[in-house]
Structures are given as C-alpha cells and as structure tokens.
Structure 1
Amino acid sequence: MESDADPDKLRRRFLRAGMTVLARDGYSGFKQAAVCTEAGVTTGAFYHSFRNWKAFESALIAHWRLEATDLLVESARNVTDPHDRIDALMQIALNLPHDTERAIRSWAAVDSAVHAALTEVETARRDAIAEMGVELFGRELAERLAATSMLLLTGFENSANPSIDDFAWAMRTTTATALALLDERQVSE
C-alpha cells in the first residue's frame, strides 16, 4: 500500500512535477524551487528523494523516455492490424507531451547528456515507426516514412508557432500519399 511517505510515490510526484514545469515554464524556468512548488513539498523532501539536482535531471529524462517513447511504442506493437497500427502511431505522435518535449529540445542544446538521450529517443522512435510500417509499406518505404514522420514531429516541436491541426494534417497526408503509392505499385504488378 502506498502512503505519502512512500519514497517511490514521492519520486514519481517529483518526476510528474518536473514534466509539468518543463511544459509550463520551458527549460529556462526549470528550477528546483519551481519543481518543489509544483510537487507541493519542500526542498528537504527533494533531497530525500534525489541525491542532487543532476540525479533528478537524469531520472526525469529516463522517466520521459519511458513514458513518452518506450511504453507508447510497446502499446503500438500490440495493435495487430497494420492500418490500425499506423493510426495508433499517429495518435501517439499527436498526444505526446509536446510542450515538455519542446523544452527538452532546448535543454539538449546546452546539455550533452540530454542531447544524447534525445538522440536515443529519436532513434528509438524512428526505428519503431519503420519496424511497424514494414508489413504495409516494405522496408525501404517504411524507413522513408519513419524518417519523414520524425522530421514532421521535430519540425512541429521546434516551431515558434506550432499548430497541432497542421501537424495532424501533415501526418495524415503523408500516410495517405504513401498508401496511394503502395496501391499504385500493387495495381501495376
């Protein structure tokens, strides 16, 4: 049974607060005081949960990767129909914590460990999209679509004026175009 004194529960509370602060305040506002205020606890509780701020940052990036990539990729892999799987991947992309990811991208520009983690996440996402698209598109087109999907995502997240509607339209149009190419290939064979 979890209690407020449960160390794992408190750590998760700090990690959720860190994600919230990044989303709300960006990397420039990502400070220990803001995280503690968001979590509703003192800095003493922070140091009870994390050795230091760097340890918290590392745990937060690991938490982000788990929540915004690893668990989502696993859920998409469980979708058996290849068309439904592509739709699931698009929904995942649309529902990522984009404000948090935008802040992490800014953070990665000044922190080599975060940059390395971001590179790993982008590679994992691209590889998963390609892997899950092979059944429909074949290896070459699936890899191209995965690269294009990541370019759309990173462009959206790096935009000064991002529009989720434009991002969704771009993903749907890219996928529809790829499916049309596939249909043309099958008709000509």
Structure 2
Amino acid sequence: MARRAGRQVAAEQYFASAMTILGRDGAAGLKIGPLCRSLGVTSGSFYHHFGSWAGFVRGLLQHWEDEQTGRVVELARATSDPLERLRVVRRLAVELHHGAEVAIRAWAQLDPEVGRAQSRVDVQRRIALEQVIGDLVASREDAHRLAVLGYSLLVGFQQTCSPGDRELLGRMFDDFQGLVLAHAAPHGTR
C-alpha cells in the first residue's frame, strides 16, 4: 500500500479513482500524475505499489473484470429464485460505472491488452446473462438470443446515450425483462 498523509492507500483506491478519471476524461486523461493527485500520493508511491504503468493497467483491468463481472455473476447466483436473479442482474447492470466502461471500450480499440480484457468481459457477461435467462425460458436457443439482445442493449446504451441516464437504462431493462418473461417456461423455470 502507498502512504497518503499518514494513512495507507490500497490498490482498490487507485482503481476506483482510475474509473472516475476514465468516466470523466476518457483513457487519454488517465495518467500517473492526475491519478496520484486525486489520491494525494506521489508518483514514487505509485511505482512502489505497481512497479510500472503496465503493472497498473494489468491490475486495473483485472480489478474491473473481477468487480464488474465476477461480482455481478456472484450476486446473481446468490438467490435460488430465477426471476430474482434476473432482477439482480438488471439492478447491477444499471449501477455499472457506464462512463468508465465507455472509455474502456474506446481504449480497447487502441491497446491490445485492454482489448483482450474487454473481450473477456463481454463473453463472461453474455454467458452469465444467458445462464440467468436459461433458468427462465424453455429453449436454449431463446436464452442465447435473448442474452445477446440484452447485452447488446447494455453496450448500445453505453455507446449512444448519456451514461448517467440510469433511469432510461432501467426502463429499457424493464422492457427487456418483459420480453424474457414473455418467453418464460410455465412456472418460470425450465
């Protein structure tokens, strides 16, 4: 951990600050100086903590993958009720740091390592959504198609709408949930 005015700064604090910077300034704004200033630490503490910019980027991408994908999957699986799992996924999708995700997707076009992380996240999220939907609909084909549609809805929203308009995204996911339930098997499970 790096020192910050007598207290410790954990890697997670660097990553949270980086997501804020990404959401506000894009990948071009994510630099060591602004990141360290946002936390009140020196660049020396950054290098002590991560070793290099590449080490930081690897850590940030892993953190994003774990927190914004792994956590969503874990929380969705925490309930045995298939409809409640869908509601949890909806809530967590609305709560994502959409501005940072837009910046990561743009960054992924320029940096192969970020691109690989973005691809992994896309695949993991789509598979997780397909599993949640698969517990509600009778057909695996329907579950796959609906998962692709639902994930495309999220990415499309991030790319074409104001990332801060969580109300609109929530209403869109309400419509999506209605579509999933229209395909639901009797009694809500397969």
Question: Which TM-score band applies after superposition, normalised by the shorter structure?
Answer: 0.7 to 0.9
CA shift for structure 1 position 167? 2.1
Give the aligned partner of residue 131 of structure 1.
131
| Cα deviation 1:61-101 (Å, max 9, x = unaligned) | 11111111101211111111111111111001100111111
Which has the larger helix fraction?
Answer: 1
SS in 1 for 2:184: helix
Q: What is aligned with 2:119? A: 119
For residue 160 of structure 1, report the CA deviation from its aligned partner.
5.2
Secondary structure at the counterpart of residue 41 of structure 1:
coil
**Alignment correspondent of 2:59:** 59
Structure 1 residue 49 displacement after superposition: 0.3
Q: With the length of structure 1 as denominator, give the TM-score of the two structures.
A: 0.88
User: What's the % identity of the aligned pairs?
Assistant: 34
CA 1:128/1:181 → structure 2, altered by over 3 Å: closer, same or farther? closer
Partner of 2:48: 48
Aligned residues: 184
Native 8 Å contact 2:3 2:41 kept in 1 = no
Give the Cα separation in 1 of the matches to 2:68 and 2:87: 17
Aligned residue in 1 for 2:172: 170
User: Quick one: structure 1 residues 15 and 174, their matched pair in 2 at CA, closer, same or farther if it must change by over 3 Å?
Assistant: closer
Q: Which amino acid aligns with 1:167?
A: L
Which structure 1 residue ranges, 5 or more long, are not aligned?
Answer: none
CA RMSD of aligned residues (A): 2.4
Name the structure, 1 or 2, with higher relative contact order (CA <8 Å, separation 6+).
2
The answer for the alignment partner of 1:22 in structure 2 is: 22
Gaps of at least 5 residues in structure 2 are: none
Q: Secondary structure at the match of 1:141?
A: helix
1:120-140 superposed Cα distances (whole Å, 9 cap, x missing partner): 001000000111221211322
